[in-house]
Chain A
Amino acid sequence: MAPKQKTDVLQGTLALMVLKTLDVLGSLHGYGVARRIEQISGGLLSVNQGTLYPVLLKLEQEGAISSEWGASENNRRARYYRLTREGRKQLQVETHDWEQTAAIIARFFKANAEDLT
């Protein structure tokens, strides 16, 4: 199991991935979201797909996504999640924040390397 400090960061990242996934693919059940994230992130969820569910609940409680029962590919009952309008706004804000942070970190690393040479 991942150390505790890691989980919060992971959760934040996961939440953003969930929002983006639902933004791109529309309505999706938990398994679908997990598979998509696994495919794109290359293994972030390869072992603990279950960690997705607390994140889904969190997002739903925050109003970023909504859920309803629907039929799965195999005609069983599955919970389908979709992005709400608020969630779309949140995704825009968080995407912007994330890009900014990433750019800063990138610059930071680059500057450091130059200073050292």
Chain B
Amino acid sequence: MKSLRRLFTRLSNSVARHEQEERLREEIAEHIALQTDANLRAGLSPAEARRQAMLKFGGVEAMKQDYRAERGLLLTPRVAIVNEQFARHYWPNADPVGKHIRIDNAAGVQLEIVGVAPTIKYQNTRERPMDMVYVPLAQHPLSRMTLMVRSRDDPLQLIQPLKDIVRTLDANLPMFETRPYEDLYLNNAVRGPQIAVDLVGAMGAAGLVLTIAGLYGLVAYNVSRRTREIGIRMALGARPSSVLRLVMGKGLVLVGIGTIFGLIMGFGVERAMNAMLFDAGYVDLVAYLIVVPSLLAATMLAAYIPARRASHISPTEALRYE
């Protein structure tokens, strides 16, 4: 924990640093001077008195490090930044900046809200907006933390130098799960939903194939059942084209009704999906452009082939059918 604080101290830069360093330097000097005086009174030689005093004070550099770490730990007042969701949740009609909160529990440290951050997705892309409080690491040291490093070059090249820096701070501090941000993003935001979407897509494609097959079978069967009727119509002088129009019209009415229902439900499902997925708020025109015409084509084909056959056979043969 201490080494993490140290890491933070090293990374951050305090404005009051110089003044504080001066104060500490003066305090140390006076402390050693007072001890030296005491040693002199005890009868030591001036050189020995000073040497003993410094020895008693202990390692100045190690102490200074602790001191600096401690200073980095508390920027008064204790502050926090909340997200918009938090602000709306607790102060629907007021500005949260300047308000005070306690985290952990009622006896926790009081924090002053100094800013509002946008609400984002924190863990995955499907989560609902949630309350979030940001606190400075310097005021809330953690025993483990994630260090995010931006790089203009290949981030993988940075891993070893970073590990070296951490090792110089504390050789016992393990550093693990070093990976580029793209990986993290893909895992947490893209891959999971992508699998679900692919699955739904595959089921949709299978559904479409089944529908085409079923529709084709149904229409073709219906028309072929009317072979006898068609034969009579032909015998009475109907032309093949009007017979075709008759049976195909019926098929198209069927598909038309189905398409209207399908579109209504499709838009409904799409809205539900978009609500679930991140950044998918558009109507998938391609899907409609594939599904609707292919169903129409299948129906027309299903009606056309038997109707054509029926309209081309001789009336006597048609009448003998069945």
Interface residues of A (CB under 8 A from B): 1, 4, 7-8, 29-31, 34, 46-51, 53-54, 57-58, 61-62, 72-74, 76-79
Contact = CB atoms under 8 A, between A and B. Distances in A.
Given A49-B57, A50-B28, A53-B67, A31 B34 contact: yes
Contacts of B60: 50
Interface of A is mostly: helix
B73 interface: yes
A76 B73 contact: no
Most A CB contacts (10 A, CB to CB) among B33, B34, B56, B73 go to B34
Contacts of A48: 57-59, 63
Interface of B is mostly: helix
Contacts of A49: 31, 35, 56-58
B95 interface: no
Interface residues of B, number: 28
B59 A50 contact: yes
A66 B71 CA distance: 15
B136 to A, nearest CB: 14
Contacts of A46: 56
B112 interface: no
Interface in B25-74: 26-28, 30-31, 33-35, 37, 55-60, 62-63, 66-67, 69-71, 73-74
A51 B30 contact: no
Contact of B26 (A1, A7, A77): A77
16 contacts: A7-B2, A29-B34, A30-B31, A31-B31, A48-B58, A53-B28, A54-B67, A54-B70, A58-B73, A61-B71, A62-B74, A74-B33, A77-B26, A78-B30, A79-B26, A79-B27
Contacts of A57: 67, 70-71
Nearest to B69: A54
Contact of A50 (B23, B30, B57, B71): B57
Contacts of A53: 24, 27-28, 63, 67
A115 to B, nearest CB: 35
Nearest to A61: B74
